[in-house]
């Protein structure tokens, strides 16, 4: 399958979230010949707001379907006639996961299982599930549920039978400006003149939302099935984000929250023997399947990463400067942004 989805029917779980809305906007512009683009989510208010933004008279392919991925029957109903699924529905807040673990398990793990089973039962051909850096060597409940989710989608390729169906995963770092992330939080806190810093050494991977969408679009057309595609992202130091947003603000060290790391991994050393460098991204390929790592390498003209390779936000060779962070905030979050 190439990346021209004109004539296809696509469903986006979590379609009213930050990624979902960005993907919908991009898909409508990129593939004007889409037969159907379904927004699947449980938020009726956001669906009604999106429907006003994209009126049916101008966007006849767009559909809105209220449902929860915890409900297997509803998920299966939503997938009738669907060719491609982009799975972005999840519960994501780390502190909330530590306090409400069962809720995260129901959505992030059981919901993923429901989607896998429903895709196999219907005519879906491609599934791309979104992951997170917190799923690599997880230390919090959210990361652990996303690791389980990743494993479910990778393993689903083993029992798809003779179906033309491929499951793959896309893993990336913190999305710049997404809800609950550090940039909007610091922008709001800077008004008080005080910025809380968890740890002066803390680093994170950073990616802009359009880059997430672009990577998913590429994976839809190029995945062989079973891979975890890992975005190549710059890192930032949290203290540099504070300097970029509030150079005149007082900084208060508050300590890391439950379940947080000082640095994040997207590829652990344990994954390095199964990881390929595709230039635009990395790919962790499955083991023991019908396709071996050499086959994946030939398909993409890729090379294995060095032994004991790790992709860690603190040892990343590319870091954002203070000025680069400010430029990204103006481009992707607030065009009128000025440091305080």
Q: Could you give the residue numbers annotated as active site?
A: 134
CB distance 176 to 325 below 8 Å: no
Q: How far is CA 80 from CA 4, 24, 118, 188, 259, in A?
A: 21, 19, 9, 43, 39
Residue 253: count other Cβ atoms within 10 Å of its Cβ. Answer: 9
* CA-based nearest residue to 137, from 30, 28, 14, 270: 270
**Cα separation, 322 vs 94, whole angstroms:** 26
| Residue 70, helix vs strand vs coil | coil
**Cα separation, 291 vs 237, whole angstroms:** 39
**Close Cβ partners of 7 (under 8 Å, ≥ 6 residues apart):** 33, 34, 35
168 — phi, psi (to 5°)?
Answer: -140, 165
């Amino acid at each position: 399958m190439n990346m021209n989805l004109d004539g296809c029917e696509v469903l986006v779980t979590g379609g009213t979230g930050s990624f979902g809305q960005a993907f919908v906007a991009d898909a409508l512009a990129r593939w004007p010949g889409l037969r159907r683009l379904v927004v699947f989510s449980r938020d009726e208010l956001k669906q009604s707001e999106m429907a006003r933004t994209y009126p049916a008279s101008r966007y006849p392919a767009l559909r809105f379907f209220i449902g929860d991925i915890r409900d297997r029957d509803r998920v299966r109903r939503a997938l009738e006639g669907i060719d491609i699924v982009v799975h972005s529905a999840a519960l994501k807040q780390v502190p909330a996961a530590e306090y409400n673990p069962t809720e995260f398990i129901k959505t992030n793990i059981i919901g993923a299982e429901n989607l896998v089973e429903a895709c196999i039962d219907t005519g879906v051909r491609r599934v791309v599930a979104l992951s997170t850096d917190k799923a690599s060597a997880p230390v919090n409940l959210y990361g652990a549920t996303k690791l389980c989710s990743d494993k479910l989608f990778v393993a689903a390729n083993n029992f798809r039978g003779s179906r033309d169906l491929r499951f793959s995963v896309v893993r990336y770092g913190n999305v710049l400006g997404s809800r609950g992330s550090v940039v909007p939080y610091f922008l709001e806190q800077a008004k008080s003149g005080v910025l809380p810093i968890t740890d002066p050494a803390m680093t994170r991977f950073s990616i802009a939302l359009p880059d997430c969408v672009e990577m998913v679009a590429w994976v839809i057309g190029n995945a062989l099935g079973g891979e975890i595609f890992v975005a190549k992202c710059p890192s930032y130091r949290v203290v540099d984000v504070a300097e970029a947003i509030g150079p005149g603000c007082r900084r208060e060290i508050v300590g890391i929250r439950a379940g947080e790391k000082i640095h994040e991994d997207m590829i652990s050393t344990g994954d390095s023997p199964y990881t390929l460098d595709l230039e635009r991204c990395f790919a962790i390929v499955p083991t023991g399947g019908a396709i071996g790592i050499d086959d994946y390498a030939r398909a993409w003209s890729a090379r294995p990463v060095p032994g004991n390779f790790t992709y860690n936000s603190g040892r990343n060779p590319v870091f954002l400067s203070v000025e680069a962070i400010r430029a990204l905030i103006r481009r992707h979050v607030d065009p009128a942004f000025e440091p305080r």
